[in-house]
Amino acid sequence: MTLALTGATGQLGHLAIAALKARGHAPVALVRDPAKAADLGVEARAFDYKNAATLVPALTGVTTLVLISSNDFDDRTGQHRNVIDAARAAGVGRILYTSLLKADTSPMLLAADHKATEEAIRASGLPFTLLRNGWYIENHTASLGGAIAAGALIGAAGEGRFSAAARADYAEAIAVTAAGDGHHGKVYELAGDGAYSYADLAAEVTRQTGKAIPYNDLPSAAYAGILQSFGLPEGFAHVLADSDVQAGQGALYDDSRTLSRLIGRPTTPMADMVAKALA
């Protein structure tokens, strides 16, 4: 069995490679620039979602392909379709896709590309496993330095709760399902064991820093405007603000504990990730 992962030098892909290696597997890293994958310690092949000519040759001999969703929002669905078509042409035996929590019913703008990609995978006839990832705790903790400096957390989710988990938890799920049996045709809704609101996050930051850090809830447009002022493109800022608004309505909440059952351990607590970010 030859396993291969797209986006292997990205944050999630890097962790998934490590998780597979820990299980005794030597996955193939599919990356735009193989030279940048030297630290992974595995075979690396040139692979560009947008360059169809690179795709089929890179998939030669691959039996299981992990398609980590592109972080390039320039026709992301089209990029994914290129990979799916190449997988069929190369004779790949199974494809795993990192989708979004409740992708088929989610009202989030972010869900549209994932839903379309899932449909393309089903239409391809390839055996598949769908890993519908919830929010990453790092989506929140990555900006804690700026929030602490500004004296407050900001967002637009109201009292909405995020069933978030660490990237390492989702990477472990990739390793379990890519290398294990019994996952063909499965759709896994993956989320953290413990949900938290922005107010909960602010309270934990306050506890760990000893500084009063409140949560300031903002209208969606105002929040998107602030994100743009930080340098985010207008469209992406709007998507992130929408994600918060929809989280306020439950779009990123899930209490099934599917992820922890799949990986055989509790998911990483938010408090642990706050401590890591503050270290």
Q: Domain residue spans in the chain?
A: 3-135+166-190+255-267
pLDDT for the residue numbered 155: 98
pLDDT for the residue numbered 1: 72
Distance CA 227, CA 219 (A): 12
pLDDT for the residue numbered 71: 86
pLDDT for the residue numbered 191: 98
Which among 191, 184, 214 is positioned nearest to 263, based on CA atoms? 191
Which residue numbers in the chain have pLDDT < 70? Answer: none
CATH superfamily label, 3-135+166-190+255-267: NAD(P)-binding Rossmann-like Domain (3.40.50.720)
pLDDT for the residue numbered 164: 98
pLDDT for the residue numbered 72: 83
pLDDT for the residue numbered 53: 84
* Cβ–Cβ < 8 Å for 132, 189: yes
